[in-house]
Amino acid sequence: MRFALIGLGAAGRSHLQVLASMPEVELVGIADLNPHYVTELQEQHHVPLATTNPQELIAHPAVEVVAIAAGDRAHHPLVMAAAAAGKHVVCEKPIATEVAAAREMVAAMQAAGRLFCITFNNRAESVNRRVREVARSGCLGNLRMVRLVGLMAAPDNRLIRERLGERAAYQRLLNICQDGKNAMFDCGVHSFDFARYLTGSEFARIEAMGYNLRGLAYPDHGVALCAMENGIFVLIEKGFDYAFEAKDYKEYVRYEVLGDAGSLAWDLDTQTLRVYSATETLQEPLPHGGKGDVREAIYRGFIESVQTGQLLPWLASGEDGLKATEAALRAVDSMLAK
């Protein structure tokens, strides 16, 4: 299947490595606004077409699928152009930075009759799949509470400042925590999508609080308590200041599901799934996979979807991307109101 990739930053390069290694993918072209990236990566991966004009790539008749790994604010114009050109789209999260733009994108892709997928890694990652499998198996009874905690080192943490310098590190912070709003939005969309995917329900209510460490427009660290329509509570905690001054890079990730007949827990430090139910107690080694493997699974699933004409049920659609964005923005608005 013939792909074009737009966006060659850190995430885009990861997507490029994956696409270039897949035998079922023919990488027709790449695009980025930075001419140095374009030249360097065209030579490295022997890509036929490389340009600083994404529209040229989208309009190319050889391209069947447009993969978008550009910055968040670029998603809307690029997807709209791909829809107008009649191309299938795989787009990085979040679908957009505003709900109105996301709705317009979904409508345009539906009108074009082309498949639209958002790369929510949690749907393909082995840990999240196993957590969902156990949670929905019935062994925990009726689910009552889900906790999704993801605390990441800050974009301007000590190691980044030492490597890039104060000015570059601060610009990186602004790119993620100002343009990308904050951790609750930029990374939180993953968790809001997984909450829907795990519980099989929609959000009925979202209340959130947070604090502001750096004086930017949005809180650095936040906690959202969500009531799902089926009565399950979901707690989502996201922050970009974990281990801010730590000597070594550190993240804290933990998933918990509580039912009226048992519970499960997994954390990044032990990488072990612990299940306590009425029928068994389980201590299962469950290592966290890499992003490359996850992205390859998503692309392979999307290729199958295009061949069959329908998005596979486990892949996130544009509508799923819209609902995750709506929920994340509700949480951010609730934090700001407080």
* Mean pLDDT score, 110-118: 98
| pLDDT confidence of residue 176 | 82
Decide if pLDDT at 41 tops 80.
yes
Please check whether residue 273 is in contact with residue 282, taking contact to mean a CB–CB distance below 8 angstroms.
yes
DSSP-derived pairing of the beta strands 262-267 and 272-277 = antiparallel
The residue count of the chain comes to 338
Decide if pLDDT at 244 tops 90.
no
| pLDDT confidence of residue 248 | 82
> 86, 58, 98, 148: which is closest to 321 by C-alpha?
98
Largest CA distance in the chain: 60
| pLDDT confidence of residue 81 | 98
Percentage, residues of the chain above pLDDT 70: 100
- SS3 category, 226: strand
Average pLDDT, the chain: 95
| pLDDT confidence of residue 243 | 79
- SS3 category, 11: helix
Decide if pLDDT at 145 tops 90.
yes
> 70, 72, 306: which is closest to 178 by C-alpha?
72
- Strand ranges (E), 52-142: 65-68, 88-91, 116-118
Distance from the Cα of residue 282 to its chain's centroid: 29
pTM of the model: 0.95
Decide if pLDDT at 93 tops 90.
yes
| pLDDT confidence of residue 301 | 98
Decide if pLDDT at 21 tops 80.
yes
| pLDDT confidence of residue 164 | 86
Cis peptide before 94 (omega within 30 of 0): yes
Q: Which two tokens stand for residue 119?
A: 């790369």
